[in-house]
Amino acid sequence: MKKYQDFATRAIHSDEGHKNELGALRTPIYQSSTFVFDNVQQGANRFAGEEEGYIYTRLGNPTQADLEKQIADLEGGEAAIATASGMAATSAAVLQFLSAGDHLIASDTLYGCTHSFFEEMLPRWNIEVSFVDMTDLNNVRKAAQNSTKVIFAETPANPTLDLVDIAELAKISDDISSRLIIDNTFMTPYLQRPLEMGADIVIHSATKYIGGHGDTIAGLIIGSEEDIIEIRESTIKDIGGIIAPFNAFLLLRGIKTLCIRMDRICKNTRKVAEYLNAHPRVIEVYYPGLTSHPQHELAKRQMEDFGGIIAFELEGGFTAGRNLMNEVELCVLAVSLGDVDTLIQHPASMTHYVVPEEERLEAGITDSLVRISVGLESVDDIIADLDQALEACH
Ligand SMILES: Cc1ncc(COP(=O)(O)O)c(C=O)c1O
C-alpha cells in the first residue's frame, strides 16, 4: 500500500480492511476462538513457525492483526499487540522486561491501578520499585541502579497533568541500558509519539480516546518487532491478556475518527480551561495548554496539542469536590476518560482511592481535586453546566 505521510489519511487508510476474500470495506470480525488446519503437517508447521497462518485467537487473529498493523504505523513503531485492557498492556510490557532482583523507576503520579500494580504486586516477585517526581529528571538519575531494567512514565500524568520530558528521559534510559515505557493514553499518537522521541515501548489504555465511545475496554503495546514478538510469545501467550476480536473491531472503527474527535476535544478543552481559570471558586487549574502551567513550554515542544483533560482544585476541600459531582447535570459522573461525553470524577474518592493518602497528597492529588475529561458536546453547554454546579456546590 502506498505510504501516506499525513496522519489523518493514515488513520483512515492504513488498515487493510478491504483486503479480505469478499472485498468487504471494513475489516471482518473473525469471532472465532480457533483456526482449522488442512492436515496435521500444516498444524505442525504453524506451531513450529515454519508456515504463516493462524492457530488460536490468544496467539493471534486477523481482526487483531489488522488493528495491530494500523496502530504500529500511527505510533511510528515496527509492531504492536492489542490487549484486553490498558492494565493488560502495562502488566504484559512491564513483566516482560523484569525478573526477580531487578529495579523499576516509575513516575510518582500514575493511574491508580498502575500505581498499585507497581507498589503492591511487583515487590511480591522481588522487584524493587522507586517512585520519583519526573518533572525533575535529576530524580531519575539519582534513583538509577545497576539493576534498573525499566523506566515507566505517564505523560501527561493522570490526574495532575504533570509532564515528563520524553526525549531527555530516553537519553537517561539509554545511558543506563534500561527500557523506557511511556503510557501515551492521554495524548494518543495523533498528539504525541514517544517512540519518535526515543522511548522503547508505548502503551495505551485504548478504552479511552482510541476507542473513543465508552463502549469497550482494551489496551495496546507498540514497539520494535523484536520486543513485540517477545511480549506476544511470553507474557501475552502465557498470562493471556489478549484483546477480543469484537473489541479490536471497535478500536479500528474508533481510529477512523480519532483526528476529528481530538481536534474538537482540544478546542473545547481550551475554552473550558480558560473558563475555570477565571472562576473565583477555582483555586488552581492544571492543564498544559495554559501559559501558567509550569511545563507549558515542554508541552508545546513534545505535544501537537494539549489534549482533553483538565484537573482543578476547588475552594472548600474534599466536601466541595464531592458536592460538585452531585450538582452536574450534563457532565457525566463516571470514571474513565476520552469518550464523546464529558466525564467528571473526584480522584481522591474514586480512581486514586487505592493510593495511600500520604503518597496521594505527595503526588499532588489533593482532596478537592476534580478531573474532567471534556467531550464533543457544545462547549457552551459544558460551561453552562459547570457554572450552575459551581454555583450550587457550597
Ligand atoms: C493513563 C491510564 N493508563 C492506564 C489505564 C488502565 O486502562 P484500562 O482501564 O483500560 O485497563 C488507565 C485507566 O483509566 C489510565 O487512565
Which CATH number goes with the domain that contains 366?
3.90.1150.10
Residues 278 and 335 in one domain: yes
* Per-residue cell: 63: 481482526
Tens-place pLDDT, residues 125-183: 999 999 999 999 999 999 999 999 999 999 999 888 999 999 999 999 999 999 999 99
Residues 212 and 70 in one domain: yes
Is-contact 169 134, C-beta < 8 A? Answer: yes
Q: What is the pLDDT of residue 1?
A: 46
Nearest CA to ligand 1 atom 15: 111
d(CA 122, CA 99): 10
For 234-245, letters b (16+ CB in 10 Å) and e give ebbeeeebbbbb
Residues 219 and 206 in one domain: yes
245 lines ligand 1 (CB under 6 A): no
Closest by Cα among 305, 316, 325, 318 to 357: 318
* Per-residue cell: 341: 461525553
203 lines ligand 1 (CB under 6 A): no
Is residue 56 in a domain?
Answer: no
87 lines ligand 1 (CB under 6 A): yes
Is residue 1 in a domain?
Answer: no
Is residue 44 in a domain?
Answer: no
Q: What is the pLDDT of residue 196?
A: 98
Nearest CA to ligand 1 atom 10: 86
Nearest CA to ligand 1 atom 9: 86
Is-contact 64 243, C-beta < 8 A? Answer: yes
Residues 92 and 205 in one domain: yes
92 lines ligand 1 (CB under 6 A): no
Q: Which atom of ligand 1 is nearest to the CA of 208?
A: 10
Q: Which atom of ligand 1 is nearest to the CA of 89?
A: 11
Q: What is the pLDDT of residue 50?
A: 96
Is residue 251 in a domain?
Answer: yes
Q: What is the pLDDT of residue 336?
A: 93
Final residue belonging to a domain, choices 232, 256, 280? 256
Nearest CA to ligand 1 atom 8: 86
Is residue 50 in a domain?
Answer: no
> For residue 103, how many C-alpha atoms fall within 13 Å in the half-sphere facing its CB?
14
For 119-134, letters b (16+ CB in 10 Å) and e give beebeeeebebbbbbb
217 lines ligand 1 (CB under 6 A): yes
Residues 6+ apart with CB under 8 A from 73: 10, 14
Which of 155, 185, 213, 371 most suits a substitution to test ligand 1, by most atoms within 8 Å of the C-beta?
A: 185
Catalytic sites, residue numbers: 58, 111, 183, 208
For residue 202, what is the domain's CATH number?
3.40.640.10
Residues 246 and 384 in one domain: no
Residues 6+ apart with CB under 8 A from 224: 77, 78, 79, 200
Q: How far is CA 232 from CA 59, 236, 241, 372, 391, in A?
A: 7, 5, 10, 35, 52
Nearest CA to ligand 1 atom 16: 111
Q: What is the 111 CA–ligand 1 centroid distance (Å)?
A: 6
157 lines ligand 1 (CB under 6 A): no
Q: What is the pLDDT of residue 363?
A: 79
Q: What is the pLDDT of residue 120?
A: 95
For 138-165, letters b (16+ CB in 10 Å) and e give ebbeebbeeebbbbbbbbbbbbbbbbbb
Is residue 52 in a domain?
Answer: no
Residues 215 and 310 in one domain: no
Closest by Cα among 167, 173, 227 to 203: 227
86 lines ligand 1 (CB under 6 A): yes
Q: How many domains does the chain have?
A: 2
Residues 228 and 81 in one domain: yes
- DSSP state at residue 346: -
Neighbours of 173 (CB within 10 A): 24
Final residue belonging to a domain, choices 222, 238, 256? 256
Domain that holds residue 65: 7-30+61-256
Is residue 181 in a domain?
Answer: yes
Low-confidence ranges of the chain (pLDDT < 50): 1
158 lines ligand 1 (CB under 6 A): yes
Final residue belonging to a domain, choices 256, 272, 298? 256
Q: What is the pLDDT of residue 166?
A: 98
Tens-place pLDDT, residues 381-394: 999 999 999 999 87
